[in-house]
Amino acid sequence: MNPNHLASAAASSSVDHGRRYAGRRALVTGGGSGIGQATVLRFLEEGGSVVAADVSGAGLADTAHKAGVAAERLTAVVVDISDEGSVRSGVAEAVHTLGGLDVLVNAAGILRSSHTHLTSLADFRQVIGVNLVGTFLVTREAIPALQRGNAPAVVNFSSTAAGFAHPYMAAYAASKGGIQSMTHALAAEYAKDGIRFNAVQPGSISSGMTDGSGASRRSTGPGLPEDAERGHFAKLRPALGDGFAGPETVASVVALLGSEDGRFVTGTELRIDGGTHF
């Protein structure tokens, strides 16, 4: 086994999602937790070869453990998407390992919650730097390989925060709105190369980024301000189901957009929130 592969004795999922990714090569950022991890596992279940990139080595090890025997098709690369040098070397390693690239998923991101008038410039820049600039950097480095790929597709991560009011998250909303706009521009620019660009807008999803109430986990930064109006978030309840959905709900849509089933979809975004924002 490639020494970069993280092996595991854990059993892989018994759910059969088909083999849409057999022979497809994918790079997934944020692959060490949450929706990124769920996407990696879904691609592996469908037969793909995947490079999971994340700033957390421990998170990547957890992903490999959950992949079970499918980890033989998984390579882990530690990457800080806000750092240009790290992105350049990480994407180059991914393309070399996979022998090319067909699918890119920009799932990595951070969430910070605070009163805007109390938000420091450093904190605002950090959110923009990771979410928006990081998505740009990874995409820029991956495009040459995608231009040579098989039915190439990119799935970016916007958010319901890009189009609906989520208080205390001005920086996050700005970053996700930028990603959404950039996705449209990239789709138009690279349509001639056959590269599809789409974005997903998760909402009301329990993941490594949120605590299931719309608030950021303290493990990824400050939670809601102590004097926050909690009633704002009580409204963020999906019309479908009994509460927030799991990250695999979004991963299934990402898998659709990156596969041949999504071949006629580009330059758009798909909201996945169970009807929270009718």
What residues act catalytically? Answer: 172
CA distance 138 to 187: 16
Q: Answer yes or no: are the C-beta atoms of 35 and 250 closer than 8 Å.
A: yes
Instruction: Supply φ then ψ for residue 242, to 5 degrees.
Output: -105, 5
In DSSP notation, 47-74 reads T-EEEEEES-HHHHHHHHHHHGGGGGGE
- Cβ partners under 8 Å of residue 156, min gap 6: 106, 135, 139, 179, 180, 182, 183, 197, 198, 199, 200
For 174, the 3-state DSSP assignment is helix
Residue 147: how many other CB atoms lie within 10 Å: 13
For 199, the 3-state DSSP assignment is strand
Residue 108: how many other CB atoms lie within 10 Å: 26
Cα distances from 98 to residues 152, 220, 232, 245, in angstroms, run 14, 30, 45, 32
Q: Answer yes or no: are the C-beta atoms of 199 and 177 closer than 8 Å.
A: no
CA distance 41 to 31: 9
DSSP state of 228: -
